[in-house]
Amino acid sequence: MIYELRIYRPASGANELLHKRFSKSILSFFKKHGIESVGFWVDFSGQLVYLVRFHNEKEQQHSWFSLRNDPDFLADRAHYEQIFGGPLVIKKNSIVLKPTSYSPLV
């Protein structure tokens, strides 16, 4: 398994709508495209931090590609951006993690 830690910095005033989008639609898109959610957090600065996992890098690349090209996902993003008046997230970071041989995750 590989894990991906993602950090989203919401646009000013977009926190509530970003969390609504994740809880109402993003999780179902993740499931549809084989992106397994491990957990979601908010750091002290208000950034959304979440962890997902995949069986391997090929699956990871395929899942993100299919999600980003899903017409329903693109329509959902456009809907929320229209409500907010622009992008909900101003900065995204992603770190791919592979467990060590001594990790309890292996």
Domain count, the chain: 1
Query: Torsions phi, psi of 95, nearest 5?
Result: -130, 120
**pLDDT tens track for 30-57:** 999 999 999 999 999 999 999 999 999 9
Assigned domain for 105 exists: no
Assigned domain for 22 exists: yes
Assigned domain for 17 exists: yes
Q: What's at 43, amino acid-wise? A: D
The CATH number of whichever domain residue 6 belongs to comes to 3.30.70.100
Mean pLDDT of 94-99: 96
Assigned domain for 90 exists: yes
Q: Which domain holds residue 79?
A: 2-97
Residue 106's pLDDT is 72
Task: Look at the block and give the residue holding tokens 């690349």.
Answer: 61
Q: Is the pLDDT of residue 105 over 90?
A: no
